[in-house]
Structure 1
Amino acid sequence: MTWRGPTHRTVDGERIDGVWCHVWRRHWRGEYSVDDLFVYADGAVLCEKLTDLAGLERMLDSGLIAVTDPTAPGPEEQPRTWRSRSSGPLTPRNFLLEVADRVEELAGRPTTVQRCWEAISRFGEERSEANRELLREAYLAIPAHLRIFVLGDMDLQDRPLRMLLTDLGEPVGGDGPPATTEMHEWALEYFRKGDEGVARSRERRSALHADDPAGAGRPPVVLRDVVYPQGWPERLGDFVLRNDYPARIRFAGDVHPSVLHGYWALSTAEDTDRVRVRNAPTAREAHELGSRAARRNDWPAVRLAVMAGLLRAKFTQHPDLAQILLATGDAAISYTGGWESPYWTDAFDDRGRNWMGRLLELTRAELLTDRLSWPTAE
């Protein structure tokens, strides 16, 4: 079964993550059509109606939901050999177990595959019959059609596990050669080498990622579009990072009352429009005038560079504002609001590119770079 995601639903204001797949749903006339089945971290299942795992089991048992096309001919039975096996048919029972595994994964709990790997490690540390029995139970708990994928080995599939779990003298996989002590030792060596490879990979990743932050980063800084009818407050806050905050900037040979004045003035093709925008009483009026004026031909290619230059000018020419930007540390900056285009803002849908937030983060890094002291060559 192919699962897709992410998706979610909201319950009492809380986001519940989920995934979905296609199934066949029977209609009142007995005909089937493809439908979406959603599975969520809290165990809820949605296909036409909201239910749970027990409800899904009843729908599968009654034939209301089918996991394969009921009108298609059944797959030809593949020969099962101990050296190469197909994944086996997807049955309603196995699908139900797979759905239960998805719930565990979404909820951040160990899946049957993860529990099997834990049992493999436990048996490698202590080769007792009790641990081998626990490993057998963990392996058999994996949905049958997914067991050949448990080791992630396309060549050997799950053969090392089957060798390890087969009693001495019994045929491996039911049709293979009798299990021997040498087979068991080979399988244990297979897992030991795998553990060593994982350890080497983790050590190398740890070295290559040595500059990763040790702890959690700061929560995002959200710059909301605010209005102060009585004028800007005396105490400066994050609102000064927005483009409409009145901070005079010398840039590109002119003085602009705010970043928004400068951006829209420099976007215009005519000198008269540029002067009108620059002299607008407020940033909002500058935006309105500039957006209605004729645009310079190269504006799509240069607008990011112009905005980056205006921000650099604003925060280098106003050290008090630079200090507020630097105080955000390494936090992501989300620039919101309904006046600017989604190109600039962190809009609620996938149109939002948040270029303003990204450029503010870049400006912050540049300000910090200018304040660093560097070693000099002797």
Structure 2
Amino acid sequence: MTWHGPTFRISDGENIGGAWCLVWRKHDWLDEQYPEHLFVYADGRISLDRFEATDLAGLGRWLASGKIALHRDRPDAPEPSPAPPKWEQRYPEPCTDETFLAEVADEIARLAGRPRAADRCWDAIRAYRAEPTEGRRAALRDAYLAVPAHLRVFMLGDMDLQDRPLRVLVTALGERVDGDGPEVTERMHQDSLDYFARTDTAVAAAREREAVLHADDPTGTPQPPVVLTQTMYPGGWPDRLGDFALRNDYEAPFSHRGETYPTVVHGYWALSAADRADHDLIRAAATADEARERGGRAVRRADWPAMRLAVMAGLLRAKFDQHPELAELLLGTGQAGILYTGFHDSPYWRDEGPRGGRNWTGRLLELIRSELAVR
């Protein structure tokens, strides 16, 4: 199944992490099915569309009763083709009710921060490679078989060999792999061990190469983002500076290319106007909101889409260059990401959380903060 997330629910004031997938639900009165969201949470709660709740055992009863199904019933569907020998098959095994329950249990473990069946299998692989005894091979086989059957081919992340090296490794000498494959020999076991050794070498080389290429990547725990929210002050701006002064509508007059603007909003919309008269009318607006309104109604310069980002960067530089107290305020945000939110700016300039937004104002503020820091 395809899991989506993250999501959460609140229980006793605590956020419980979750994920969801789609299943087919049988209609309560009609003989038909419809898609429904199945939510699972870190504490083991499972619900249909958030309201009808159960646990793992209850999910098994839902599946057994036909209340939900993994696939849509198709009475007219053609008979499936005979499956090829398992050793030759290059596709996952079918997802059954039993293996889906195992997958859900794994997803709950992942959400709770506990090892999944695949994690325990990898631990068993490492243990067997360190000491390839028959007892550890048997333990590896048990760990491999605990992985949901329809997910086993993805265990090694190998599109070509899939999980064949592992299937050879868990099969005793002289036995046929999967019952219909080749008889396992010592050479085959060694080839499988060599496969894992080569994989380790390749992974180590890739990580070393990545460390070189990403040598300048920030390290350590990132700071929480600084969120510049849009706030109204009917009585005027507060006397004590706060993050509100980093916003483009804050009144901090500055000069840019021979012109003076009361706010960045005034400068941005004035410079967007094709006509000089509109430029002056916007610049003279009593408030940033009025400047934005006048600017939005003026005829725009034909080249504005290509230059607006550079213009905004220039205006912000001028604002912080000419107001040292605001520059100190911006530098005080440290290395935190800056999310510029609000209602009046377009999504091009602001952050809109899960709904998107390109947050170019926030990104430019981070750039200018970096420039200020190296002066």
Fold-level match, TM-score > 0.5? yes
Q: CA deviation at 1:132?
A: 1.9
Percent sequence identity over aligned pairs: 54
Moved more, 57-66 or 207-216: 207-216
2:67 alignment partner in structure 1? 64
Moved more, 77-86 or 56-65: 77-86
Verify the 8 A CA contact 1:80 1:86 in the aligned structure 2. no
2:97 alignment partner in structure 1? 92
Distance 1:178 1:4, change over 3 A: closer
2:31 alignment partner in structure 1? 31
Q: What letter matches 1:51 in structure 2?
A: T
1:330-374 CA deviation, whole Å, 9 max, x = no partner?
2110112223223222124525221211111122223334x1xxx
Q: What letter matches 2:113 in structure 1?
A: G
- 1:255 partner SS: strand
Distance 1:295 1:213, change over 3 A: closer
1:327 alignment partner in structure 2? 332
Verify the 8 A CA contact 2:27 2:34 in the aligned structure 1. no
Distance (whole Å) between structure 2 residues aligned to residue 227 and residue 154 of structure 1: 56
What are structure 2's unaligned runs of at least 5 residues? Answer: none
1:314 counterpart (290, 312, 319): 319
- 2:348 partner SS: coil
2:7 alignment partner in structure 1? 8
Q: CA deviation at 1:150?
A: 1.7
TM-score calculated relative to the size of structure 1? 0.88
- 2:28 partner SS: coil
Distance (whole Å) between structure 1 residues aligned to residue 192 and residue 276 of structure 2: 79
Distance (whole Å) between structure 2 residues aligned to residue 295 and residue 350 of structure 1: 27
Distance 1:194 1:235, change over 3 A: same
1:150-182 CA deviation, whole Å, 9 max, x = no partner?
222233332222222222222222123332222
Moved more, 290-299 or 203-212: 290-299
Distance (whole Å) between structure 2 residues aligned to residue 327 and residue 105 of structure 1: 37
- 1:8 partner SS: strand
Verify the 8 A CA contact 1:78 1:86 in the aligned structure 2. no
Distance (whole Å) between structure 1 residues aligned to residue 356 and residue 141 of structure 2: 50
Query: Is 1:247 equivalent to 2:241 in the alignment?
Result: no
Distance (whole Å) between structure 1 residues aligned to residue 208 and residue 19 of structure 2: 33
Q: What letter matches 1:39 in structure 2?
A: F
Q: What letter matches 1:53 in structure 2?
A: L
Q: What letter matches 1:306 in structure 2?
A: V
Moved more, 275-284 or 247-256: 275-284
- 2:24 partner SS: strand
Distance 1:21 1:234, change over 3 A: closer
Distance 1:191 1:224, change over 3 A: same
Q: What letter matches 1:47 in structure 2?
A: L
- 1:320 partner SS: helix
Distance (whole Å) between structure 2 residues aligned to residue 31 and residue 153 of structure 1: 42
Aligned-residue RMSD, C-alpha:
2.4
- 1:110 partner SS: coil
Distance 1:152 1:290, change over 3 A: closer
The count of aligned residue pairs is 369
- 1:46 partner SS: strand
Query: Is 1:185 equivalent to 2:184 in the alignment?
Result: no
Q: What letter matches 2:53 in structure 1?
A: L
Distance (whole Å) between structure 1 residues aligned to residue 59 and residue 340 of structure 2: 43
2:307 alignment partner in structure 1? 302
- 1:344 partner SS: coil
- 1:28 partner SS: coil
1:134 alignment partner in structure 2? 139
Q: What letter matches 1:132 in structure 2?
A: R
Q: What letter matches 1:354 in structure 2?
A: N
Q: What letter matches 1:65 in structure 2?
A: I
What are structure 1's unaligned runs of at least 5 residues? Answer: 372-378
Q: CA deviation at 1:92?
A: 0.9
Distance 1:25 1:256, change over 3 A: same
Distance (whole Å) between structure 1 residues aligned to residue 356 and residue 208 of structure 2: 39
Distance (whole Å) between structure 2 residues aligned to residue 96 and residue 77 of structure 1: 26
Moved more, 253-262 or 80-89: 80-89
2:41 alignment partner in structure 1? 41
Q: CA deviation at 1:93?
A: 0.7
Moved more, 31-40 or 141-150: 31-40
Distance 1:347 1:170, change over 3 A: closer
Q: CA deviation at 1:130?
A: 3.0
1:274-299 CA deviation, whole Å, 9 max, x = no partner?
22322223323322333333433333
